[in-house]
Amino acid sequence: MKTQTLLYYIGAFIFAGLGVLTFLQLHKAKYQIEAGTFIVIAALIYYGMVNLFFKGSRKTFLLANTLLAILALGGIFFNSMIFGGH
């Protein structure tokens, strides 16, 4: 089995499990939709990054990873300014 196919199967298993847990643990539809949207976006980013790693250039992959890391750190530190806080 190729590594790319294995990573696709692992991702499908992880995100399917997250989807099942979301609908089992969250009871309000609003929260289920919010969590489901996050899971779908995360899955698309995951599959895009796997695809970019195997079919794109190394420089583009590293640039995309760096951008995602900067956005994640910005989300951590500026969360209250972006989404409002207490």
Q: Give the separation between CA 52 and CA 47, rounded to whole angstroms.
A: 8
Average pLDDT score over residue span 32-45: 95
Q: Look at residue 34 in the predicted model and tell me its pLDDT.
A: 92
Q: Look at residue 84 in the predicted model and tell me its pLDDT.
A: 75
CA dihedral 26, 73, 17, 33 (to 10 degrees): 40
Mean pLDDT, all residues of the chain: 92
Average pLDDT score over residue span 45-65: 93
> In the chain, where are the structural domains located?
3-79
Q: Look at residue 86 in the predicted model and tell me its pLDDT.
A: 63
Percent of the chain with pLDDT over 70: 98
Higher pLDDT, 32 or 81: 32
Q: Which residue in this structure is represented by tokens 């539809």?
A: 29
